[in-house]
A and B are shown apart, each in its own frame.
Chain A
Amino acid sequence: MSERSRPDRERTQQLFGELATLTRGTARHSEVRAELVEIHMPLVRYLARRFTGRGEPADDLLQIGTIGLLQAIDRFDIGRGLEFSTFATPNIVGEIKRHFRDRGWMVRVPRRLQEMQGELATAINDLSQRLGRSPTIRELAEHMRLPEEQVIEATDSARAYSAVPLDVPNSTTGMTIADGLVEPDDALEHVELRHTLRPVLARLGERERRALVMRFVENKTQNEIAQALGVSQVHVSRLLAKTLAELRSKLPDVQVPG
């Protein structure tokens, strides 16, 4: 029933148990490693898809993600009681991001704008608190002493620029996005469109799903979501843009039927 086949947890445990007893370079060692890779390819595929549409062929992304997976397999310590997929995810994502950075994708957002991101986020927070609403471009431009064009440009690259992982804990609250989220099913209960939405949402990651529900079902503002999640508004904006792009790439039903 689930679209995303989950890696077989028990088999994974078993294989790592065996791997720990094997000598690197032996035939059995490679076999076990190969089976672990195979079990976790859906995870790599899922993560690689988050980065498609940025000018890199999907096959390349898969390969790079697989390198991250291999590194994770080699580094994983079963004794620490961590779920392997939890351990592997940042490794895989990190490898893909490193690739983009090396290939210059990260600098496609001009350095000037990258450097402005922090300043922009601070300005938005300051002004939002002072004004009790999100600021206008003009207000931001005055506050930051920049031309309006530059602020527009910066706010656009802020949402396109997803180099900041969404699951890092907020520095002041220590919360990750996932922590602040509420179970969306109750909210969905009253939505006429729940039949359409449910299968769509089920395929998303937990935090993406919940942020999406807050924005589009509960009709909360980005500001409200940001407060609920303990992250910046820029962060929420990025999350929503990213999630919608992901949905679009994933789902044939998010299109006008012909």
Chain B
Amino acid sequence: MSQAATEHDGSQGTVELTVPADPAFVSVIRTVTASLAARRDFTIEEIDDLRIAVDEASALLLPHAGEAGSLSASFGGADNTLSISVSVPLPKGQAVPEPDQTSFAWMVLAALADSVTGSASGDRLMLTLTKARGARST
């Protein structure tokens, strides 16, 4: 539960990124998201969904990062899927918040990604988004 187990199937490898827990740095994660999705031949619309989703996930997590905390993103998935785990460390002694799955932000995430899971394990609060290429093509 605490460790992402099998992220390196497919040929795309895993990318890890840690930035200061400051909204100004979310754009860095967003850019890497776009770049990795482009590499997997996602359409620009799917990429845009992912960008918004990353924005939302980060906005959900940032208030929980402690002072001088960091925001981490781990990217994995196979050739046609991208999975992004965004997480913040919880300050010592802070109660572990449960993601509110009825919140508007959660609904947005669910609409943008194929799956969303939230986990608060150990000392990290994490949201994982997975999206497959062409999943919604009609």
Contacts and interface: CB of A to CB of B under 8 A. Distances in A.
A134 B134 CA distance: 10
A156 B31 contact: yes
Contacts of A159: 48, 51
Interface in B15-61: 23, 27, 30-31, 34-35, 38, 41-48, 51-52, 55-56, 59-61
Contacts of A251: 104
B52 A156 contact: no
A152 B37 CA distance: 10
A137 interface: yes
Interface in A226-249: 233, 237, 240-241, 244-245, 247-248
B2 interface: no
Contact of A197 (B27, B43, B47, B104): B104
Chain A interface residue bracket vs B: 35 or more
A108 B45 CA distance: 24
A156 B44 contact: no
Main secondary structure of the interface of A (DSSP, over half): helix
A221 B45 contact: yes
A151 B23 CA distance: 24
Given A124-B44, A152-B35, A156-B34, A256 B99 contact: yes
A156 B30 contact: yes
Contacts, number: 116
B44 A134 contact: yes
B105 interface: yes
Contacts of A137: 34, 38, 41-42, 44, 47
A216 interface: yes
B48 A155 contact: yes
A124 B137 CA distance: 17
B108 A233 contact: no
Given A159-B51, A240-B52, A255 B44 contact: no
Contacts of B63: 255-256, 258
A137 B59 CA distance: 26
Contacts of A254: 59-60, 103-105
Given A254-B105, A256-B64, A248 B38 contact: no
Nearest to B61: A256
Interface of A: 53, 124, 133-138, 140, 148-149, 151-153, 155-156, 159-160, 192-193, 196-197, 200, 215-216, 219, 221-223, 233, 237, 240-241, 244-245, 247-248, 251, 253-258
Given A152-B34, A251-B104, A256-B64, 10 more contacts: A136-B41, A136-B42, A136-B43, A137-B38, A148-B38, A221-B136, A222-B45, A223-B45, A255-B63, A258-B95
Closest 4 CB pairs of A and B: A137-B38, A134-B45, A134-B43, A216-B111
